[in-house]
Structure 1
Amino acid sequence: MSSHPITRASGPRAAFSPFRQGQAVSPSLTTATIWPGILLTAAIAGAAFVLRQLPGVALLSPMILAILIGIGIHNLVGTPKWAKPGVVFSLRRILRLAIILLGLQLTAAQVVEVGAGGIAVIACTLIATFLFTVWCGRLIGVGRKLTELIAAGTSVCGASAVIATNTVTQAHDEDVAYAVATVTVLGSIAMFVYPLLPGLLHLSPHAYGLWSGASIHEIAQVVAAAFQQGSDAGEFGTIAKLSRVMMLAPLVITLGLFAARRARQSGNTAGQAKAPMPWFVFGFIVLVGLNSLITVPADVKGAIVVATTFMLSMALAAMGLETDIRKLRAKGLKPFALALAAFLFIACFSLVLVKMTA
């Protein structure tokens, strides 16, 4: 990625990156230089959690609030130079640790509970949505990298999928911010619209829960929408959504393999070296397995969920601190039209599959 510090730093940013390819990190750089930026992103994430306590704001996730605060700081007063190394660290290391910890929210038993039919609906919906979005992006002229981010965010799990996918897609910060914004807005719309439709569509609680889990973007949005139709729909929708999140791992690995192949075909050996297998995804898979074998106490798991959300919020705060709003405006409405088309596709396609398997 030419400007996104999650995967590498180049140009003017390279001077601030403590993780350049092939370069050792000095102890002074990792302590004295990185901590100020880490504390800044943590402060923004903390502010996002506090803001969610205000009336009406609780509907927004702390992740989207964090990126909005970061964008505001960067575009109003500028990101301080002393914070740059810590911002890079939050975007690289803290982000990947948070994605690994997502594995502790999933178990193999949850997947079994969804059943073969439910898993088939979720998997087919994910694959079809991703391929449709990529095809549609090419058709209307949206850049490949931004298209992949919107496709991942829509087909898997919103903002978390966007930033995880960008570790191999290597898009610009503005592309990531745009993708996060669109999938968050459209997922929020689904959260309010879906509960109005079960009666009209003649969906049982089980079918409605599966539809919600297979098609709404964020976990929190699924929970909010599904539980409005009762506990049965809410619990099954949540499990279906978590099973869908598990599919983030094979998606990111597949995209990493395609990125490496593109680099080889173009003869860009440097690009090939910068498109490695995303190791952190294997950490995610290991924790899913561990969580399936042992019982993590509920209070410990609850604390891990909060910590994971906080770290993801730190990563998005750092992304906001690197995002130029003028570049977002320059992208126009085509990417939003793409996200809207993907949103409508996943809602309709998954509904047809749910009806067929009901």
Structure 2
Amino acid sequence: MPPPSPAPSPSPSTAHPAASRTHIAILLTFSLLALFAPFITPAIALALGIILGLLGISPLPTLQKNASKLLIQISIVLLGFTLSLSQVALAGRAGLAFSTGAIILVLIISELLARVLKTDRPVATLLSAGTAICGGSAIATTGQVIHAPAAAIALSTAIVFILNAVGVFAYPFIGRVLGLTDHQFGAWCAVGVHDVAGVVAASADYMGTKVAQQDATVIKLIRVLWIVPVAFVLGHIHRKALSASRDQSPSAAKAPFPWFTVYFVFACLLRAGLDGLFSADTQTIASIASYVKLVASHLLSLALLLIGTGLTRNAIAAVGWKPALHGLVLWLIISAASLFAAMHLL
């Protein structure tokens, strides 16, 4: 008589229904906080998501992927409406050249680092975007273009957010020690500090004036406008690298066109049109843009919370220490290079 076959082990969803309900309640609570709580920034939301992921509390993979994808795309489109092209025009040729040169330098150095360190390709691409443009928003945009795994997006964003936090405190101190002028510090800060909020915070009241903050904000806005073209350039480099390594999947080769980037451009043009149409009442448009920016920030927070839950212990072990070293070295090089340029060219 053959021995009885072992009973199938219950799936996690059926073995502990109480635990599953608890996980759902926890996820729902934190999702509502990310969506509505004013004190939950995108960085905090990502950190909370990573903690939940490491604790094994995460939504269904399909729900996580689809929901975070939609939320990111909506938030990026809304971001386009918050960009004032009239402000960007104030930077002039010097600001445009400084910003563009920094972006090109970041992309070149990051590609060299990826080859030397053999960094995981999606993570290297996302770190390039986050450092070159505007931190988490650029990573989220590029992640959609290259169809990066949630773990790669979460890890890259976490690295950039940590370096951004260090820069907010370190840059003003270094600027004062070196005696940088308002214009020099503003330009340096706009290049070395990753996201817009960090740039505004680091340059606030530098040397007791608002000049550095104004310069930094304008130059940073120029970099943000590069978010779509740089995402496509990085997407091309990413696919070429995968093809060269014979690691390109059919889905990556036939990836659908990221239409949300087109909507981002339309949103920028809509804001420019409204600024021109209501030039006598710019305060109203600015107020509307501030509300749109708030909505975009909370949608991005919820997306990053969901993405963070995908960063498991296995995912971290798979990529190792190289992404952190890649991000740190890239940031230090671009900080030093942009500091030298600001001191000698501005």
TM-score (norm 2): 0.81
Superposed, which structure 2 residues align to 1:5-154 within 5 Å?
43-48=29-34, 53=39, 62-81=41-60, 84-154=61-131
Is 1:291 the equivalent of 2:271? yes
Separation in 1, partners of 2:28, 2:218? 30
Is 1:272 the equivalent of 2:253? yes
Q: Which amino acid aligns with 1:307?
A: V
Q: Which amino acid aligns with 2:292?
A: I
* Identity in percent: 25
Q: 1:92 to 1:254 in 2, by over 3 A?
A: same
**Deviation at 1:335?**
1.4
Q: Is the 8 Å Cα contact of residues 263 and 272 (structure 1) preserved in structure 2?
A: no
Superposed, which structure 2 residues align to 1:303-314 within 5 Å?
303-314=291-302
Q: 1:132 to 1:185 in 2, by over 3 A?
A: same
Structure 1 equivalent of residue 306 of structure 2: 318
Is 1:353 the equivalent of 2:341? yes
Separation in 2, partners of 1:318, 1:139? 32
Q: Is the 8 Å Cα contact of residues 150 and 179 (structure 1) preserved in structure 2?
A: yes
Q: Which has the higher contact order (CA 8 A, sep 6+)?
A: 2
Gaps spanning 5+ residues in structure 1: where? Answer: 1-36, 54-60
Structure 2 equivalent of residue 337 of structure 1: 325
Structure 1 equivalent of residue 281 of structure 2: none
Calculate the aligned-residue CA RMSD, in Å.
Answer: 2.7
Aligned residues: 312
Q: Is the 8 Å Cα contact of residues 90 and 314 (structure 1) preserved in structure 2?
A: no
Separation in 1, partners of 2:234, 2:320? 26
Q: Is the 8 Å Cα contact of residues 211 and 354 (structure 1) preserved in structure 2?
A: yes
Q: 1:72 to 1:287 in 2, by over 3 A?
A: same
Render the CA deviation track for 1:271-307: whole Å, top value 9, x for unaligned.
3211x44221121111111111213533322211110
**Deviation at 1:321?**
2.4
Separation in 2, partners of 1:290, 1:323? 37
Structure 2 equivalent of residue 3 of structure 1: none
Q: Which amino acid aligns with 1:233?
A: A
Structure 2 equivalent of residue 182 of structure 1: 159
Is 1:202 the equivalent of 2:186? no
Render the CA deviation track for 1:213-241: whole Å, top value 9, x for unaligned.
12210111111110130311112211211
Separation in 2, partners of 1:281, 1:38? 32
Helix, strand or coil at the partner of 2:91: helix
Q: 1:127 to 1:42 in 2, by over 3 A?
A: farther
**Deviation at 1:354?**
1.9
TM-score (norm 1): 0.79
**Deviation at 1:49?**
7.3
Render the CA deviation track for 1:173-210: whole Å, top value 9, x for unaligned.
22222111111111111110111122333321122111
Helix, strand or coil at the partner of 1:345: helix
Q: 1:136 to 1:262 in 2, by over 3 A?
A: closer
Q: Which moved more, 1:299-308 or 1:261-270?
A: 261-270
Structure 1 equivalent of residue 279 of structure 2: none
Separation in 2, partners of 1:151, 1:260? 15
Separation in 1, partners of 2:197, 2:155? 20
Q: Is the 8 Å Cα contact of residues 46 and 158 (structure 2) preserved in structure 1?
A: no
